[in-house]
Structure 1
C-alpha cells in the first residue's frame, strides 16, 4: 500500500482515493467504523488475551517493553487531542496528535500492547493544573505499570527522562547534550 495514504479509508479498502470513496467496500468500512457499537477497550483486551494465550506470541521474561511517543500532523481545533507539539516523525513542532504507545518485543517478534493519546493542557479547564491532565511521562508510567502482566524483563525508550518504570530495569537513549 502506498505510504502516503496508508491510514485513509480508501487506502485501507484498497481503492483509489476520491473515485474509490463511493466503492461499496469503502462505504461498508466507513459504516462499520462510524456506526458500530463495539467497545475498543474490549476488542483490544481480547486481542491481547489471544496473543498472550498463544505460545508463538506469548510474552516471556526474556522480552522488553518498548515505550514510544508518535505523532501525526492534523489541522483544526475541533479534533480531540490536537495541539501544537513535537511531532518526532516530522522532526519538528506542529499541529498534531501524539500517542504514547507500548509494545512487547523479544529477539524474534514484537506486538503492540496499548496506545493512549496525549491531550495538551489547553484541552483542560485548569490547564496543566487540572486533575485530569497527564503528561506523556505520566501516561508512559501508567502503561508501564499496566504492562507488568506482559512479563517484561526491562523497559526500553528513546527518551523519557524521569520515567518511573515501576521497579522494572530500563534502558533509555541519552540526548547528545
Structure 2
C-alpha cells in the first residue's frame, strides 16, 4: 500500500510541476515567479490559518512582504492564469460529456470596505448577512471535478459609488451585472477556451433567468437548471405552474433513479419528465420539465432542461445530480485551501487570491484522477486526503530551528510596534 502511494506521489509531483511551470510563464520577474510556487504550496499545507503571513513563514521567507507583493502589487494577469488552469483541467479531466456547474458562494465579512461587501442573502449562511458573493464555475466529468473560473458579484451600491470603486481599485470597465449575467460570461469563456462540455447545471438563481437559457441554447450546450415551483411552462394543454403539473402526474410516470453515489450509498429519488414541444424556439432542440421527488418527505424539485438532441431521462438525472459537485468543491477549498480566509479588500488582490486557490484545487482534482486504484478495504483517495499526503511526502520543507525562531522574533517585533502606535494614539485623546 505504501509503495502505491510512493508511485502516485511521483506522479502528483510531476503534475504539480507541470501546472506551476505553466503558470510561472505569466510572471516576468523572477521573484514573483518563484513566490507563486511557494504560495500555492502554502495553500496546500495544513496551516491552521491561510494568509500571506502564514504562507510566507511556511515558505521560509524572512517576512510576509514578498507574498503580500505577489497578491497586491506584482505585475501579472489573474485571468490568464485561470485560462492556464482551465487548459490544465481540460487536458487531465476533459470529457465530451463534461458538465459546467454554476453557483455562488458567500464570504462573511465585517465592515464595509472589502470590495463587493454589503448586507445581502448568503446561501452559505442561509440568511441575509454582511458578505461578499462570487459566482463560480466548476467542471465535472467522469474523471473528477474542480473549480475553474470565478467572477466577483459587485452590487449597485458599489458600481454606482465612484469613491468606493476608487478605494477598492475596481477597474473602470467593470459595471453592474447580475449573477446570471456573470454566469453567462464564465460559460462563454470556458466554451471559447476549448473546455470540452455538453451540459450546464445550476440552481434556481440561474434557472429563473430566461436570457441565460437562451444564451446556452445559442452555444448548443444542453442544460438542467432548477426552477421554482411557481415557474410556468407551456404544455400541449396550456401553460401551467410546475407544481400543478406534478400533482396531475399518474403513478406510472415516476421512475426511481439514483442521482449519483454518495458517502452513504446511492442517492435515489423518484423522477418524472414531461416533453415541452411548445417551448421550441429558433434554436430547435428538445425541451423538458424534469421533476424530482424525495422518497421520504415527498418534497419536489423542478428543472427546465434542453438538449440539441433527444436524451433519456437517466441522462438528465445524471446532470442534475452532478450539480452538487460544486458544493463539494466549495467545502474542500474553504476548509482545506483557504478560499474564504483572504484578508484583502481590493479588487485585484481578491481575484489573485481566489485564482491561486482555484489552481491548487485543480491540481488536487487532477492528481486524484491519476491515483492508482485502492486495494480492498480502502475508498479511492479523496482530494482532502491527497492534500495531506502530498504535503507530507513532497512539500513539507526541512524546517530549521533558526527559521522558527526568526519568525517568532518578527511577529513579536511587529506586535511591539503596533502596541506602541496604539498607546501613542490613545495618549492624544485620553488624560
TM category, shorter: 0.7 to 0.9
Q: Distance in 1 between matches of 2:81 and 2:141?
A: 24
> How far is the alpha carbon of 1:72 from its aligned partner?
0.2
Give the match for residue 142 of structure 1. 185
C-alpha distance after superposition, 1:126-172 (max 9, x if no partner): 9xxxx921111111122222222322111111322225141122223
2:109–2:130 Cα contact (<8 Å) kept: yes
Tell me the secondary structure at the aligned position of residue 100 of structure 1: strand
State the TM-score, normalizing by the size of structure 2: 0.34
Structure 1 alignment gaps of length 5 or more: 16-22
Maintained 8 Å contact 2:134/2:151: yes
- Aligned residue for 2:85, secondary structure, equals helix
Residue 96 of structure 1 is matched in structure 2 by 131
Please name the residue that 1:41 is paired with: 79
Question: Residue in 2 aligned with 1:162?
Answer: 209
SS of structure 2 residue aligned to 1:138: helix
Quick one: distance in 2 between partners of 1:47 and 1:9? Answer: 22
- Residue of 211, 224, 236 corresponding to 1:171: 224
1:42-95: CA deviations, max 9, x gaps?
Answer: 22222223333x3x33x2221100101011011222222111111111111111
The Cα RMSD (Å) is: 2.7
**Structure 2 CA distance for aligned equivalents of residues 38 and 50 of structure 1:** 19
Structure whose CA Rg is larger: 2
3-state SS of the aligned residue for 1:62? coil
Q: Displacement, 1:2?
A: 6.4
After TM superposition, where is structure 1 displaced by more than 6 Å over at least 4 residues in a row? none
The equivalent position to 2:89 in structure 1, one of 28, 51, 57, is 51
Q: Which 5+ residue runs of structure 2 have no aligned equivalent? A: 1-45, 162-173, 229-299, 302-431
**Match in the other structure for 1:30:** 68
Higher strand content, 1 or 2: 1
Moved more, 25-34 or 115-124: 25-34
More helix by share: 2
Deviation at 1:25, TM superposition (A): 5.8
Looking at structure 1, the residues matched to 140 and 62 of structure 2 have their Cα atoms a distance apart, in angstroms, of 38
Distance 2:142 2:227 in 1: 23
Q: What is the aligned partner in structure 2 of residue 87 from structure 1? A: 122
Change (3 A) 1:89 1:11: farther
Is the counterpart of residue 78 in structure 1 residue 121 in structure 2?
A: no
- 1:111 equivalent in structure 2: 146
Take 1:121 and 1:35, find their aligned partners in 2: how far apart are those partners? 27
2:149 aligns to what SS in structure 1? strand
TM-score (norm 1): 0.76
